[in-house]
A and B are shown apart, each in its own frame.
Chain A
């Protein structure tokens, strides 16, 4: 891992290591749950074909399709997560190498974080073409043209995922391949709630606890709220992310979800209670690892409160109003992130006005 030592000063390198460490619980949860979803689906429906790349890899690693042991889940999860991560790292490293050679600067190790975040935001059976496309877009448009680590204005992984979702809408909704099984018609938990409410969730054995632990279907890294909380604790203790932004998002979600509960039509997502908003979909993951990206969020404290409430409002609004984006977190974060410089600009203008009014 020589390139990790090539570029950065001590502080920047430590920051990256912390961010990667904070993603460790989520990554482990992603391995276990992706494997669990795959094997559980197979156990329910043994007619599904497993004769694809991932199925063969899982079998080759020793995962038994009949049992649900920890090793089997890890092996099956590895068969899904590892190829995507390896490909994302390869594509990211490739572009980073090209950019650094063109610019005659050392390689910046931040692409590792981009690749990991990008991978965790994909479903377990994402098409490799989508990975190459999204990662290339993230590295070039999200990161390269701005000058690399710390100089971006959007989180590159967020941008990469957004472009994949926009370009290939089937990734975002009713993905037929959450578990890499041809013919499987399942969907991520939040889309299930959209269609059938709480009854539909309990029909596939999702309760509050399983949503909190993360044994539900969804994009790989985002299902386990408890793993996200562990990472968030590390980032907060190390004072890397702004607690105001995080608290504002959670408070905002509670407020706006309750508001829609009271005012809404009582069907679909408008009736979704705040705790389901928090637990289902990728809100928790996005709030901690994407929205709180220090580089791509508001950099003033009042701005952080505003941005947090804005994200929450957008998440609830898009979930209620736009059924093509049942999860809504990616477009909401993208919009809020684009608006962050404007929010900062207004906050600073207000601050300057206060300074002008002083008589000294």
Chain B
């Protein structure tokens, strides 16, 4: 029996006692549980699947005992929590014998790797039979205090390349590997796999920016897929070694963190344990993601989300938190500071007004289909109205998707 340990060269590993799958990370999915509370599960084994599209399965991030299945309003799954047990085995997968698209798709579905793909528009898990116009591999991190994507990809270069090659095989669309400057990634199948360099500000690492530059979403109903580099490494790991890559590399940063650094952790680790003895005393706020695109989370019950590569802890003064609730005037003041906070070609102020009004059709015309929550996070921070554009955008996208 293979033991279950984290090994990542040159990185500190941090073990936690609990990890979880979060329902919020997979929007539009009705989960069908394949396990019950108290069951022992193998790491990487399927624990849930999509009720509507049963081919799509979700695998356990760690091995252990299912300790809690948390449900919210209308029995919507909030989290499936697993208490880590190192003695448990790791699920094995047989890599596909031949490399045709159908075999790879089936392998991805069976192993749970499919659930790390996302569509744009809407940010869903793509349909197993779907035909994207392009596939994007986000191979860089440009946000403040992000982990060093170059080092991570180079450390796991074999797995990364295997993952990219497999992804290029699942359909006929071009596959863009969007990487940092001077990374020097090269692939043999250069006809389908196109390496594109992105540099610039914090937004250079957003899939929305890559898609906007290379295959912009219009109003024609097409879609593109994207996936993060760590999920590609995980896919390559499955293909090369037949077992899941049971770690994610995250960075711990922010002015309230005592020792900012990158850590190798279990996917879905509980953030409370990750931050134990890491944070300065005093009031602070915890962000899932960076200080620019991150989302504020409650400290007690939070877990690393799918694709999350950063935990940022910022010290706050008492007055900051008061001010946020004090705004009563929701008018947008279209100052120059709002420009460049959103994808090129989208006018921020008209979009913000459409979102505030909940005018889904107008927001669609103005480019809301190109966006997901993370793309509008900076607008909420810069706008004097303190509107939460991320949740306003989500409402609009939900309505647009329902009307499709």
Contacts and interface: CB of A to CB of B under 8 A. Distances in A.
Interface in B321-374: 323-324, 326-329, 331-337, 339, 345, 347, 349-350, 365-367
A148 B324 CA distance: 20
A300 B216 contact: no
Interface in B378-393: 382-386
Interface stretch (B217-225, B282-290, B301-309): B217-225
Interface stretch (A119-127, A255-263, A350-358): A350-358
Interface residues of B, number: 37
A241 B335 contact: yes
Interface of A: 7-12, 15, 105-106, 108, 147-151, 236, 238-243, 294-295, 297, 299-301, 344, 347-348, 351-352, 354-360
User: 5 closest Cβ contacts across the A-B interface?
Assistant: A358-B218, A150-B331, A9-B327, A11-B384, A299-B349
B78 interface: no
Interface in B107-154: 133
Interface in B191-225: 215-220, 222-224
B215 A355 contact: no
A292 to B, nearest CB: 9
A301 B133 CA distance: 30
Contact of B217 (A147, A236, A358): A358
Given A355-B219, A360-B216, A240 B331 contact: no
B215 A360 contact: yes
Nearest to B346: A351
Given A240-B337, A301-B339, A358-B218, A8 B329 contact: yes
Which of B323, B326, B333, B382 lies at the interface centre, i.e. has the most chain A CB atoms within 10 A of its CB? Answer: B333
Given A9-B384, A10-B326, A348-B347, 20 more contacts: A7-B328, A8-B384, A9-B326, A10-B320, A11-B383, A12-B327, A15-B333, A15-B335, A15-B384, A149-B329, A149-B331, A150-B329, A295-B334, A299-B334, A300-B347, A351-B366, A355-B367, A358-B218, A360-B216, A360-B220
Contact of B133 (A11, A236, A360): A360
Nearest to A303: B347
A47 B324 CA distance: 61
A236 B337 CA distance: 10
A354 B333 CA distance: 26
Contacts of B384: 8-9, 11-12, 15, 150
A299 B366 contact: no
Contact of B350 (A295, A300, A355): A300
A51 B382 CA distance: 53
A35 B248 CA distance: 70
Contacts of A360: 133, 215-218, 220, 222-224
A64 to B, nearest CB: 45
Contact of B329 (A12, A239, A241, A347): A12
B386 A11 contact: yes
B197 to A, nearest CB: 22
A106 B224 contact: no
Which of B218, B331, B334, B367 lies at the interface centre, i.e. has the most chain A CB atoms within 10 A of its CB? Answer: B334
Which of B219, B382, B384 lies at the interface centre, i.e. has the most chain A CB atoms within 10 A of its CB? Answer: B384
A70 B383 CA distance: 43
